[in-house]
Amino acid sequence: MKATKRRLAFRFTIQFIIFLILAVIIFGILMFVALNYISKAEMERNFPMGGLEAIINETTISEDVVTLYPGWESLLEEQEMWLQIVNKDGEVIHNVNAPDNLPNTYTLKEIMSVDETNRYGEYKVYSVIDTYYEDPYLYFLGYQNHYDDLLQRWAAIYREDIAQTEADSLAQLEQNVGRINSTLKILDSEGNIVRSFGFSAAEESSFGPVEIFARSMGISGMEKEISVFYDPDYELTWMLTTEREEGEQYGTFIRLIVIVMVIAAFVILLLGILFTVWHAARYGQPLFLFVTWLEKLGRGDYEEVLAEMEDRKILNKKGKIRGRYKLYEAVINAFREMADKLIDARDERSQLDRTREAWMTGISHDLRTPLSSMQGYAHMLESDKYNWTRNELQEIGATIREKGDYMLDLVEDFSLAFQLKNSALPLEKETVDLEQFLQRIILKLKNDISVNDYELHFKTEGKGEQETVPIRADIRLFERMILNLIYNAVQHNPPGTTVFVKVTSGEDEVKIAVHDDGKGMDEETKKFLFENYYRGVSTTDKSDGTGLGMSIAKGIAEAHNGSICVHSETGEGTIIELRFPKYSEPHIKV
């Protein structure tokens, strides 16, 4: 699960960074477009002077070779303007949309005349010198402007009428101005408007000298064509304003920036919503699936969960987890393992319930038999119908005692199994020589008539002649464990079976193997051999076992920090193997 946590953290971090980068890129693009538009709009509104400055900034010259941004050529053609770049010797080194009647070389007189009059022949010309390079370069930006000539003619015709406020003559001027959809303002020496004709869109009452000069240079702050003529005789300034083209006005720079930021925020918000929806579908759907699996596991529908895991929506044709669930591969595998274990646990519980019922039936039978005998003898002794001899009374007493001992053994087994299961049994450990200890047990069993029909052998491996095999053990419980294993081999095998007890001494541990060549065990018996109440025989068989012997043996082994396991095949005999840590101490009880 740690790998899943790392993958989730890494995946979400990467996706957040990608989304953040994408948002910054989108915002940057929108801001670039807005600023580019604003720059272009400002340039066009201040064209041609503002445009000429921009052209100079975006043009490079090396040894009279000019590199001009291609967009300017199309823009100049669109504006019906031309551009010439002149070197220090007056030679034109670059032309854009230049008419044929323009010279290829300019004299000093022509340059001075253009600078003074802002005209060259029929063209209105704006000029700027670029001093960035070692040698200066002169830029001429020109276009045909008939309004300058028209304005000068009107000034020559109507200036006296303006001074005298001749109404009839001025009415004619009003018509002329209105015919070309323009506005004519006549200013006095102070910049105040004396008269205004045509479609005046502004409410200005006066203009400052710098403002008048800026407009004469083509810097109007509006998308207008402006012609300015100063009449020194009457000290009047004639200003003719004509709309260049109608276009949408976006307002101020700040307003446009706000609009762009709102659009950018909306786009990023939309992307965020789409990203969230995708995220929820991508990573939320598997979580809903897991919740469904948990509910089904809670109801015990384990097979249904496994069936859904095999569904094609989770696994591809090759049986591998699909990409959309790949991130949760560890979780899906954990669910599969959990479902498998729950199925096994359910089957084992069912088997144990059946085994417990069988054991209870057997135990009831085992207890009922001696109790019935004891109860029958008690009724006979209680009755005065019989005259018992001394030998008969002794025989009855011996039977009752044997039955009582057997029942007492059953109760002791129950108590011991409970104490071992709950680790409530105190151990009185001593250091003993395992080899001699087991030899004494084998010798004792050879005098037991219940095993007379079986062969018992003992063997030691892995030690020298003078070497001992020391362990720490509770002698009483350890002997009980070994006897349980040997009696189990005897009780469940036919007479003539050979039982071997072998000790193998290693460097750090001691191994005890109880091996018989009897009929062996099937898989079910091996699986439940060390469970409480499991007897390994049918309840109809005559067996004095309680079903707790092997469980007690396992509990005693584990209480001594050991382990126990079984190896057996049907018809091949059985090996019960015990492993314990070796102990070394100078004084060993034998």
Q: Can 147-249 and 426-581 be said to share one CATH topology?
A: no
pLDDT-based confidence at residue 590 (cuts at 50, 70, 90): very low
Say if residue 480's pLDDT is above 80.
yes
Biggest CA pair distance of the chain: 175
* C-alpha–C-alpha distance, residues 412 and 427, integer Å: 16
* Percent above pLDDT 90 for the chain: 14
* 128 in Cβ contact with 52 (< 8 Å): yes
Structure tokens at 289: 């699936």
DSSP string, 537-549: S-TTS-----S-H
The yes-or-no verdict on residue 222 having pLDDT over 50 is no
Domain boundaries, the chain: 49-144, 147-249, 426-581
What is the tens place of the pLDDT at every residue in 275-317?
Answer: 777 766 666 667 777 777 788 888 888 777 777 666 656 777 6
The most confident of the ranges 300-304, 465-469, 490-494 is 490-494
Residue of 143 and 486 predicted with greater confidence: 486
The CA distance from 24 to 264, in Å, is 10
Q: Considering only CA atoms, which of 96, 93, 77 is closest in space to residue 130? A: 93
Minimal CA–CA distance to 351: which of 522, 531, 520? 531
For residue 408, is pLDDT > 70? yes
pLDDT for the residue numbered 585: 61
Cβ pair 245, 225 in contact under 8 A: no
Give 541's pLDDT tier (boundaries 50, 70, 90): very low
Residues in a beta bridge with 120 = 123
pTM of this structure:
0.41
Report the CATH architecture of 49-144.
Answer: 2-Layer Sandwich (3.30)
Please check the confidence at residue 11 and state whether its pLDDT lies above 50: yes
Considering the chain, what is the average pLDDT of its residues? 79
Q: Please write the tens of the pLDDT for every residue from 126-146.
A: 889 998 888 999 999 988 876
What is the CATH number assigned to the segment(s) 426-581? 3.30.565.10
Which of the residue ranges 37-41, 42-46, 269-273 has the most confident prediction, judged by mean pLDDT?
269-273
Starting from the edge strand earliest in sequence, which strands make up the sheet with 123-130, in order?
92-96, 82-86, 137-144, 123-130, 119-120
Residues 98-111 have a mean pLDDT of: 91
Q: Distance of CA 31 to CAs 22, 28, 34, 303, 472, Å? A: 14, 5, 5, 58, 84
Q: Name the nearest CA neighbour of 185 among 200, 175, 169.
A: 200
Band of residue 246 on the pLDDT scale cut at 50, 70, 90: very low
**Relative orientation angle of helices 475-491 and 434-446, to the nearest 10 degrees:** 50
Highest mean pLDDT among 361-365, 374-378, 380-384, 530-534: 374-378
The burial of 509, by beta-carbon neighbours within 10 Å (0-12 exposed, 13-18 middle, 19 or more buried), is given as middle
The CATH number given to 147-249 is 3.30.450
Mean pLDDT within 540-553: 66
Q: Are 26 and 264 in contact (CB under 8 A)?
A: yes
Q: Tell me the C-alpha distance between 228 and 49, whole Å.
A: 15
Residue 242 backbone dihedrals phi, psi, to 5 degrees? -130, 135
Give the whole-number percent of the chain exceeding pLDDT 70: 78
Distance between CA atoms of 327 and 288, rounded to whole angstroms? 15
Reduced to 3 states (helix: H, G, I; strand: E, B; else coil), residue 506 is: coil
